[in-house]
Amino acid sequence: MKKLWGAFCALACSAALLAGGISVSAESEYKVYDYGDLLSDSEETALEDKLCGIADMYGHDVIVYTTDSMDGMDAGEFTEYLKGKLDAGIDGSGIIYMVSMEYRDYDIYSFGRMYDEIMIQSITDDMAEDLQPYLSDGRYYDAFDKYADKVLSEIQYVEEYGPNEEPSFAIPIGIGCGLLIGLITVLVMKSNMKTTRAESMANNYVRQGSFKLTNSRDIFLYSQVTRTKRSSDTSSSGGGGGHSSGKF
């Protein structure tokens, strides 16, 4: 099956060369490596065709790789190893979606222009989070198909509007500083308006002999519970690219 679709991709690239005079060749031999046996033959064929089409049209390697073992490496290390093993990256640009069934790990690794301009860290993190439930439900083809759709839509967006950029925090920081300065000003004004000193004991405000306490008890009106979200996802960047890793 892989040899058949490898030949198909080669023919598609040749057709593009003859028709448009432009040569765009993918460096990875295939686009789908289903060593974890998560896809049916028809699903693998459809996905290979789709990813090969993206590579031919836009010149970025878009790869899916499934496995039963990461050979003792963590997800990020293994995906970077795959980049070299598969000779992935058209002009150094590509993205690999790796799923390992050994400990149910996944990693999305983008590199080159794909990381710098298209699938930047925040976009890759959001995509990984959106796709994780499909992996958990065993809907592997849906996860990979939506991955292809997302990468394609971001490539097309960048082609039309220019490179994606990480969100700027300058505006929120400026608003926060303004609020802090305003709060300090109000507190200073309030302190200058005080003309009397507050008493530390409440009984100083009660007329002597006018109040008698017959019963006392403690009543807690409010409680506060703090919860911290627990997540297995990790995001990092390095080695000329970025990772979005986690478990499913």
CATH hierarchy code of domain 2-165+235-247: 3.10.310.50
Percent composition of the chain: helix, strand, coil (DSSP 3-state, to 5): 50, 15, 35
Closest by Cα among 95, 79, 73 to 26: 95
Check whether 173 has a pLDDT greater than 60.
no
Whole-number average pLDDT of the chain: 78
Domain ranges of the chain: 2-165+235-247
- pLDDT per residue over 13-64, tens digit each? 444 433 433 444 447 999 999 999 999 999 999 999 999 999 999 999 999 9
User: If pLDDT is split at 50, 70 and 90, which confidence band does 81 have?
Assistant: very high
Whether pTM exceeds 0.85: no
User: Rounded to an integer, what distance in angstroms lies between the CA atom of residue 86 and that of residue 165?
Assistant: 28
The phi and psi torsions of 224 (rounded to 5 degrees) equal -125, 125
pLDDT at position 17, please?
Answer: 36
Share of the chain above pLDDT 90, in %: 59
**Rounded Cα–Cα distance for residues 123 and 98 (Å):** 17
pLDDT in tens, 192-214: 655 555 555 556 655 666 556 56
Return d(Cα 90, Cα 28) in angstroms, integer: 8
Q: Which helix (H) or strand (E) holds 32?
A: strand 32-34
Q: What is the mean pLDDT of residues 114-123?
A: 98
